[in-house]
Amino acid sequence: MTITGATRLFGILGDPVAVVRSPAWWNALFARAGRDAVFLPFQVSAADLPRAWAGLTAIGNLDGLVLTMPHKQAVLPLLDALGPAARLVGAANTVRRLPDGSWEGDMFDGEGFVAGLRAQGIAPEGRRVRQVGCGGAGRAIAFALARAGVAALALEDAAPGRAAALAAEVVAAFPGVAMAGVPDLLVNATPTGLAPGDGMVFDASLLAPRVAVADVIPNPEVTPLVAAARAAGCTVATGRDMFEGQARLAAAYFGIAA
């Protein structure tokens, strides 16, 4: 890849970013598509996001950004327009520069997660889901699962009141979804599994061949939960499946065929 004065810039903002797989995937896509573009990681702390955003906005050849934790909700006040999923979820994971220089954001984590499930043969329709994690990605996943037709969605989160608040929003948007039931799909939408030595958010006794398991952690792809679920005979969708699903949607948002 040759970077020229005409190269267009894309990137991912997060903290941490050392573990993300995005740059390799996106730069390979640009090469296949013959695009004079490069995708870069930007390490930006939560406290520095407003200051960093002002600088990024001043870069005239920066066309789009992907947001990862902890910025998916904090970025909303910095954007000029929101797509439908971002408005519903209250978070954005992809932003693009419009022709007038303003920024528009939308959220593809949820639909990307569902695409990852389907890629592994896990149909969400009629499933009874137990999901741990109701932050930016977790919110998107909950709404997308409800939209996809799950029968029940039990939500949990370490932050007091967050799961109950999200459950109320999901039921308001999708009244047919129950909020209880014996689960046959377990979803980890937390960072647990990202750091060495992490355990699992679910008790191993819940793992059985009739239960499907999905994890949002892309790197390492085989988290303790994924390893235990495979050993128990569960059908598994990994964070890489989710990443590839949402990345394809984000590429289309940027006008690039993946």
Q: Check if 72 is active-site.
A: yes
Q: What is the pLDDT of residue 151?
A: 96
Strands 94-97 and 103-106: antiparallel
Catalytic residue among 56, 67, 72, 170: 72
Confidence bin at 248 (pLDDT 50/70/90): very high
Read off the pTM: 0.90
Q: What is the pLDDT of residues 8-66, one digit of tens each?
A: 999 999 998 988 889 999 999 999 999 999 999 999 999 999 999 999 999 999 999 99
In Å, how far from its chain's centre is CA 174?
21
Q: Which stretch of 14-23, 82-91, 107-116 has the lowest confidence by average pLDDT?
A: 14-23
Can you list the domains of the chain with their CATH numbers? 8-107 (3.40.50.10860), 110-243 (3.40.50.720)
**Does residue 1 surpass a pLDDT of 80?**
no
Tell me what the mean pLDDT of segment 107-115 comes to: 96
Confidence bin at 148 (pLDDT 50/70/90): very high
What is the Cα–Cα distance from 192 to 190, expressed in whole angstroms? 5
170, 143 Cβ separation under 8 angstroms: yes
